[in-house]
Chain A
C-alpha cells in the first residue's frame, strides 16, 4: 500500500455538454429522460466540494458537444503516482475524449492502443482490472506494463460496465463493495488475488459502492459518497465510518447515463508543480 494513498492535490474535470442528455451512452433504457440542468447542478456541487471543502485545485475542461460522454473524464486515463496511462476507451464514440484529457494531465502520460476504460481498475495492490465489454485483456496487460511496480489482476465483470460500478476503495485496505452476487463474487476474486487482507464495507446498493476516498493533509480520511436521498440504506452504512470525513454528493441524474461519482474527475497528486 502506498504511503500517500488517497493523497491528491488536483482534480481534472470536464463540463457536461448539452448532447449528454440525448446522446450519452447508457446501459439503461434509452427513453429515460436526462435533465441536463440537474446534471450541471450535481456537477457544481461536486466541484464545490473538491475546491471549497477539500481545497483541491480543479482543472476544468470545456465541454465538447461532439463528445456527449466527455464529462466522465475518469475513463480516458489511469493515474497512479506520477504516471498516467491514457487509455483507448472501449466505446468508439469516446475515443476522441482522450486527446484533451491527455493534455490536461499534469503528469507523464502514456497513450495506449488496447481497449481500456480507466474506470475499470481499482487502484489497490494489486491493481484490479475489471474485464468487461469496455475493457479487454490486452488493456489490462498494458496497464501492467505501465505500472510495473504493481501487480495487475483481472476481475471478470459481467453485468456492469466497470469494476468501479460496484466497487471502490473507501480507505487504505478498505474496499467498498455492493451486495449483488456479481459484486460479491468479484470481491472474492479480489481478496484471493491480493497480498493484503482487505476489509470490506458492504453496501446494499451496488452503485453506492462507488465512492471517492482521499487522504488529505489537514482533513484526514475523506470519503465522498452517495446521498441518503439516492441510496438511503447504503448511506447509513457509510455513516457508520467514524474515522472518515463523510461528504455525500448527489449523483442521481448522471447515474442515468452510467455516471458514477468517480467517473467525473481524475484525481492527481502533484504537490509541487502545476
Chain B
C-alpha cells in the first residue's frame, strides 16, 4: 500500500509532461489533420525523466521496433498484441522482477512451500503493477501521437481484434506454448536487461498478472475458490471467479460471477441477458472509482484493470439517452429507459418543473399500477413512489389527479407518454461535469447527443454542436475543444476548461468521444483514420453507433418479451422466479467455471459482432478472418501435440475444418445417459426459460416469405393440409482454444465450399433424428397445445484427460453436448411405427456467416393423408458470446413465419461446447 501511495504522483507526472509536449505540437497543427505520430514521440522520449518509470518510454519504443522487426512470427506478435496497453509500458526493472516471478504460478499452486516473504514481495509487486497499469493507461491517454503510432503499427492486429475473433488466435498459441516459454525465460531476462522489451516478455508478464490477480482476489475476499467444487472441470488458477454485484435499474441486485480477467463486455452481456435486453447499445455499466466518481466500464478492457481497488460493484445505467425514444423497437428497452429517467428525475439529476414532475409521476403510476382505482390508491400508498427530489403533498395530489385521466392506458403506452414528455426536458440526456472556465468561474459541462453544453449557474451560456467541434483533447486537468471557425471568422479557436483533476478531464473527454461517435457518426471511428479527434488516448468508442443500433433494432423480430415491472416484482418473483434464480446464480458459477472460454470470449469485442448477424460490421469480420487463416495453421500444430488423448474432439474439429461430417458423434452422444448433476440440468433449464416462453407464446404470424414461396408448389401447401412441421434446431457452439477457434472461424467464413460440409453433416444428423424421433402425425388439430419434454445430455468426454492435461499446462479440449427437445404433446399418442410412403424429399442449405441452415423437407403419404415434415437444422458456429437462446428463439420465429400453416412440433437444441483451458 505504501508503495502505491508513494509512487503514484510520480507515475502521474511523467506522462503528463510528455503529453504536454505532444499537446504543444499538436496545437500547431491544422485542426483536421491527424497528428503525425512521429512528431511527439521523440519529444516524449527525449523528455528527461527522473522517476523510475521513465524507462517506459525507451522501452516502449524499443518494443515497438522490436515488434516491427519481427512481424512474421505470429506467436511473439500475439504476445505483444494481447499485452497492448499495459505491459508494453512496463519498465525493465519491473519486468526483471517479473521474470523472476515467473515461477510464481508454481509456487502458488503449491502453497505449502511458499514463504511468507515471497508473498509480501509479490503483493508489493502486484501493487506496483497496478500502478504501472494505471500509468500506462494514462500515458496512453496523454501521449496521443505515441499511442496513435503504436496503434498504427499494431494496427492490423488491434483493429482486427475489434472486429474478428481470429486475431485472438496467436495469443492462445502462446499459451499452448507454455512449456516453450520457460526455456525462453533466460533470454528474456537478458533482453530486458538491455532494455529491449522482447515480445517474449509479454507472456511472462501475463503470467505474473495472473498471479497478482489471484493474490488480489484472496485479499479482497471476494474470490470464490472453486477448485474443490468443480475439480474435474477446472484447472487450478484458471478458475478465478469473482462475484460482481450489479445494481439494476429497478433497484435489485444482480450477482454475476465472472472470470477475474473478464472484460467489461462479458459482464455487460450477462446483465443484458439477465434483463432480456436486445437494444443494449444505449446502456452501460458504471462503477464508482476511488474518488467516488462515476465511471463507465469499458467493454473492451478487463474489468479488474478498470475498477482497480474498488469493489466489484456496478450499476446498470442508460449511457446514451436516445433523443427519440419512440424509435426504440422494444417496449422492454423503453421500460428500462423509463426506470433510468425516474431515477434521474427523483434524484434531481434531471430537473423539471412542478407540472412536469406531476405529469411524469402520473405516467409512472399508470405504468406501474394501471388504471386509477380509488379503492386501492390513496395518497399514503402513492407516497411510496418518489416523483421528485422534494415531494410535496401538493405534488402527490396533482399526480393522482393526472393519473385519473390516463384511464385505459397500457403500461407500455404510459411509458411512451412518459418518455415523450421526459425527452423534451432540456437536461434530458445531458451528462454534467463540474469545471471552471478560463477565468476560474464555476461552470458545468454538459455532454449530450447534440454536442457540448456549457452551463453557468442555471443558465446555458454556450453550446457547441458536434459539427462545430473540430477536436477535443485533454491535458492534465484541462479539457479543450477546438471550434470550427464561423462564417466570418478565419481561424479556429480553442476553448479550454479546467476540470477538478486529471481523471475528471479524461472522463469528460471520454464521454465526449463516446457521445460524438454514438450520435453523430454512422460507424465507429477507425482509430487510425481519425479525423475528428486527433489528440488524446487511443480510446475510441467501440460499440455500435446509434445509426447501427437502430438498424440492428429493425431486425429484432422476437415476440415482445415479457418483463416484470417493479411494482409487480414481488409477486412474480415468488411465482416463477425463485427456483430459477437460485439455480441460475449457481449456473453462472458453473458456467464460468466450466467454460472459461466464455469468460475468455468476453475479452474479445469482435465476438459481440459475430454473435449478432444484424450488425453491418459482421461482414467486415470476414476480412480479418481471411487474413488469419494462415495464422491458424501454426496455431493448430501445438494443439495437436498437446491433446493426444483428446482425440475425438480433436478429430472432430479437424474434420470440421476439412468439411467432413462431424455430427455423427453428437448423435450418439444424445443417446448417452444423463450423467450430469441435477444442478447442471436446472441451470440449463434456467438459461433456456426465455426460449421456452417464446416458443410457447409466439403465435405463428402468417407472412409471405421466401421460404413460403419456395414451398407453394408443394402438395402440402396446395392441399392446405394441416401438417406439422418438425422443426429441429441445432445450436452448436464451439469453445475451442482461441487459436483453433479462430482458425475454424476463418475456414468457415472463407472456405470456398463450406456448404458441402454443412449439408453432409446435417443430413447425417438428420438421419439420426428421423430414426429416433417419432414422426409428427396429428394433422387436423389446429395449433395443438405444446408440451415440452426436455432431455439434457451432457457428456463430459474429456474430464479425465483434462485433469491430467492440466498438470502439463496444455490446452484442454472439453466437449459438452446438450440436447433439449421440445415436442408437441400428441406426438406420443401416434404410432410412429406406421410407415409412410415417402413422396419427396429435398434438402436446402443456406448459409450466413456463422449459421448454416439446412432444411430437410420430406413429404410422406400415410393413411391417405399427406404429411409434410420440414426439418430445419440451424448450425450456429460461434463462441460463448452468442446468445443461444435468442438465436434459437429467432430461429423458431423465423420458421414459424416461413411456414405459417404448419406448426412446430419439436425443437431439438443440441449444444456442443468445446473448451480448451486457457492457461496463463
Residues of chain A whose beta carbon lies under 8 Å from any beta carbon of chain B: 2, 81-83, 108, 125-126, 129, 137, 140-141, 144-154, 188, 192-195
**Chain B contacts for A141, CB-based, 8 A:** 457-459
**Chain B contacts for A152, CB-based, 8 A:** 458-460
| Nearest-Cβ distance from residue A95 to partner chain B, whole angstroms | 23
Binary contact track B439-468/A, C-beta < 8 Å → 1, others 0? 000000000001001000111111101001
Report the stretch among B31-39, B88-96, B351-359 that lies at the interface.
B351-359
Complex contact B355–A150 (CB within 8 A) = no
**Chain B contacts for A82, CB-based, 8 A:** 355
| Nearest-Cβ distance from residue A157 to partner chain B, whole angstroms | 15
| Nearest-Cβ distance from residue B443 to partner chain A, whole angstroms | 14
Complex contact B355–A81 (CB within 8 A) = yes
Say which residue of A125, A144, A149, A195 sits within 8 Å of B450 (CB atoms): A195
If A81-B355, A83-B355, A195-B450 touch, whether A149 touches B424 (CB-CB below 8 Å) is yes
> Can you list 25 contacts pairing A with B, beta carbon distance less than 8 Å?
A2-B424, A81-B353, A83-B353, A83-B354, A125-B424, A126-B426, A137-B459, A140-B459, A146-B353, A147-B353, A148-B352, A149-B424, A149-B425, A149-B426, A151-B427, A151-B453, A152-B458, A153-B463, A154-B461, A188-B486, A192-B463, A192-B468, A193-B463, A194-B463, A195-B463
Complex contact A151–B460 (CB within 8 A) = yes
Say which residue of A125, A149, A153 sits within 8 Å of B461 (CB atoms): A153
| Nearest-Cβ distance from residue A209 to partner chain B, whole angstroms | 21
**Chain A contacts for B465, CB-based, 8 A:** 192
If A81-B355, A149-B424, A195-B450 touch, whether A154 touches B463 (CB-CB below 8 Å) is no
Complex contact A149–B356 (CB within 8 A) = yes
**Chain B contacts for A2, CB-based, 8 A:** 424
Residue on A nearest B427 in the bound complex, by CB = A151
| Nearest-Cβ distance from residue B492 to partner chain A, whole angstroms | 15
Q: Kindly count the residue-residue contacts between A and B in the assembled complex, taking CB atoms under 8 Å apart.
A: 61
Question: How far does the alpha carbon of A137 sit from the alpha carbon of B352 in the complex, in Å?
Answer: 21
Complex contact A193–B462 (CB within 8 A) = yes
Binary contact track B459-488/A, C-beta < 8 Å → 1, others 0? 111110100100000000000000000100
Question: How far does the alpha carbon of A147 sit from the alpha carbon of B351 in the complex, in Å?
Answer: 10
Question: How far does the alpha carbon of A195 sit from the alpha carbon of B423 in the complex, in Å?
Answer: 12
Residues of chain B whose beta carbon lies under 8 Å from any beta carbon of chain A: 351-356, 424-427, 450, 453, 457-463, 465, 468, 486
Complex contact A148–B353 (CB within 8 A) = yes
Question: How far does the alpha carbon of A185 sit from the alpha carbon of B88 in the complex, in Å?
Answer: 52
Say which residue of B356, B424, B459 sits within 8 Å of A154 (CB atoms): B459
**Chain A contacts for B427, CB-based, 8 A:** 151
| Nearest-Cβ distance from residue B97 to partner chain A, whole angstroms | 55
**Quick one: which of A137, A147, A149, A154 has the most chain B CB within 10 A?**
A149
Residue on A nearest B426 in the bound complex, by CB = A151
Question: How far does the alpha carbon of A137 sit from the alpha carbon of B460 in the complex, in Å?
Answer: 12
Question: How far does the alpha carbon of A82 sit from the alpha carbon of B463 in the complex, in Å?
Answer: 28
**Chain B contacts for A125, CB-based, 8 A:** 424, 426
**Chain A contacts for B426, CB-based, 8 A:** 125-126, 149-151, 195
Complex contact A153–B459 (CB within 8 A) = yes
If A149-B424, A149-B426 touch, whether A144 touches B458 (CB-CB below 8 Å) is yes
| Nearest-Cβ distance from residue A23 to partner chain B, whole angstroms | 34
Residue on A nearest B430 in the bound complex, by CB = A151
Say which residue of B458, B461, B463, B486 sits within 8 Å of A145 (CB atoms): B458
Question: How far does the alpha carbon of A194 sit from the alpha carbon of B464 in the complex, in Å?
Answer: 10
| Nearest-Cβ distance from residue A185 to partner chain B, whole angstroms | 11
**Chain A contacts for B356, CB-based, 8 A:** 148-149
| Nearest-Cβ distance from residue B447 to partner chain A, whole angstroms | 14
If A126-B426, A195-B450 touch, whether A153 touches B353 (CB-CB below 8 Å) is no
Question: How far does the alpha carbon of A270 sit from the alpha carbon of B711 in the complex, in Å?
Answer: 62
**Chain A contacts for B458, CB-based, 8 A:** 141, 144-145, 152
**Chain B contacts for A154, CB-based, 8 A:** 459, 461
Residue on B nearest A152 in the bound complex, by CB = B459
Question: How far does the alpha carbon of A81 sit from the alpha carbon of B354 in the complex, in Å?
Answer: 12
**Chain A contacts for B461, CB-based, 8 A:** 153-154
Residue on B nearest A151 in the bound complex, by CB = B426
**Chain B contacts for A148, CB-based, 8 A:** 351-353, 356
**Chain A contacts for B463, CB-based, 8 A:** 153, 192-195
Question: How far does the alpha carbon of A145 sit from the alpha carbon of B426 in the complex, in Å?
Answer: 12
5 closest A-B pairs by CB:
A151-B426, A144-B458, A148-B351, A151-B460, A153-B460
Complex contact A144–B425 (CB within 8 A) = no
Question: How far does the alpha carbon of A108 sit from the alpha carbon of B358 in the complex, in Å?
Answer: 14
Further contacts, 20 of them, CB under 8 A, given A144-B459, A146-B353, A194-B463: A81-B353, A82-B355, A83-B353, A126-B460, A137-B459, A140-B459, A145-B458, A147-B353, A148-B351, A149-B353, A149-B355, A149-B425, A150-B426, A151-B426, A151-B427, A152-B459, A188-B486, A192-B465, A195-B426, A195-B450
If A81-B355, A83-B355, A148-B351 touch, whether A193 touches B425 (CB-CB below 8 Å) is no
Question: How far does the alpha carbon of A130 sit from the alpha carbon of B7 in the complex, in Å?
Answer: 52
Question: How far does the alpha carbon of A194 sit from the alpha carbon of B462 in the complex, in Å?
Answer: 9
Question: How far does the alpha carbon of A150 sit from the alpha carbon of B424 in the complex, in Å?
Answer: 8
**Chain A contacts for B486, CB-based, 8 A:** 188
Complex contact B460–A193 (CB within 8 A) = yes
Question: How far does the alpha carbon of A108 sit from the alpha carbon of B459 in the complex, in Å?
Answer: 23
Residue on B nearest A147 in the bound complex, by CB = B353
**Chain A contacts for B450, CB-based, 8 A:** 195
**Chain B contacts for A192, CB-based, 8 A:** 462-463, 465, 468
Residue on B nearest A150 in the bound complex, by CB = B426
Question: How far does the alpha carbon of A22 sit from the alpha carbon of B549 in the complex, in Å?
Answer: 66
Question: How far does the alpha carbon of A125 sit from the alpha carbon of B427 in the complex, in Å?
Answer: 12
| Nearest-Cβ distance from residue B519 to partner chain A, whole angstroms | 13
Question: How far does the alpha carbon of A27 sit from the alpha carbon of B271 in the complex, in Å?
Answer: 65
**Chain A contacts for B354, CB-based, 8 A:** 83, 108
Question: How far does the alpha carbon of A146 sit from the alpha carbon of B459 in the complex, in Å?
Answer: 12
**Quick one: which of A147, A151, A194 has the most chain B CB within 10 A?**
A151
**Chain B contacts for A194, CB-based, 8 A:** 463
| Nearest-Cβ distance from residue B362 to partner chain A, whole angstroms | 14
| Nearest-Cβ distance from residue A128 to partner chain B, whole angstroms | 10
**Chain B contacts for A149, CB-based, 8 A:** 352-353, 355-356, 424-426
Question: How far does the alpha carbon of A125 sit from the alpha carbon of B453 in the complex, in Å?
Answer: 14
| Nearest-Cβ distance from residue B594 to partner chain A, whole angstroms | 51
Question: How far does the alpha carbon of A207 sit from the alpha carbon of B205 in the complex, in Å?
Answer: 74
**Chain B contacts for A146, CB-based, 8 A:** 353
**Quick one: which of B356, B425, B458 has the most chain A CB within 10 A?**
B458
